[in-house]
A and B are shown apart, each in its own frame.
Chain A
Amino acid sequence: ETGVTQSPTHLIKTRGQQVTLRCSSQSGHNTVSWYQQALGQGPQFIFQYYREEENGRGNFPPRFSGLQFPNYSSELNVNALELDDSALYLCASSTASGSGVEKLFFGSGTQLSVL
């Protein structure tokens, strides 16, 4: 049990729709990262939020956007859904430190299916 909770656990959408995924960070963690894990692949970094600002982004188009709230919870929004967006979306929280080596605590993920 990592203390990171994601909702919903499963979601089915159709192509062109918009979706919002939610994540509650582990208590005391000020950094949240989002990853996309396609079937049979390793997780791919989408972006990271630190103190409510985007702080690093992977190779994902602008239709992937996010928010981090004052309580450090977070949302991932995806507009104009495509079939290839079908994946497990993982949220991970951590505490930024001067060493730059952060232990990430992952949630169980949201399984998104785009039909």
Chain B
Amino acid sequence: GNSVTQMEGPVTLSEEAFLTINCTYTATGYPSLFWYVQYPGEGLQLLLKATKADDKGSNKGFEATYRKETTSFHLEKGSVQVSDSAVYFCALSDRKGAGGGNKLTFGTGTQLKVEL
């Protein structure tokens, strides 16, 4: 079955530091890949996505590239801010047609703490 593995946290960084959160996946076929972010007390928000190999998703300074050869989708940001403190989830989705019962398979999440 499908699975997502991401690095354990918490990850603690100083403001303006470089961020990498590793994510690898196992899936049949050609899944779509996502990063979701969860701020304290809130639901998940889509951060970025990539739907095919070599696609780069980007949003709010975060980037991730779909690497089929290494089955990876690592999240990066060049300069983190205190406001980026949250839990980050890597996820994949099977490709199915309309109403095909798409589901997301999530990793366990990585907590990021950014300090001044």
- Contact across chains for B102 and A102 when beta carbons are under 8 A apart: yes
State the CA gap A87–B77 with chains docked (Å).
31
A-B pair number, CB within 8 angstroms: 81
- Contact across chains for A43 and B106 when beta carbons are under 8 A apart: yes
At the interface, yes or no: A103 with Cβ under 8 Å from chain B? yes
At the interface, yes or no: B57 with Cβ under 8 Å from chain A? no
Total interface residues in chain B, CB < 8 Å? 30
- Contact across chains for A4 and B103 when beta carbons are under 8 A apart: no
Interface size class of A (residues with CB under 8 A): 20 to 34
The SS class assigned to the B binding surface is loop
> What are 16 of the A-B contact pairs (CB < 8 Å)?
A4-B43, A33-B104, A42-B106, A42-B108, A43-B89, A45-B103, A50-B99, A55-B99, A92-B44, A96-B99, A96-B102, A98-B98, A102-B93, A106-B36, A107-B43, A109-B43
**Which A residues lie at the B interface, using CB under 8 A?**
2, 4, 31, 33, 35, 40-45, 48, 50-51, 55-58, 90, 92, 96-98, 100-104, 106-109
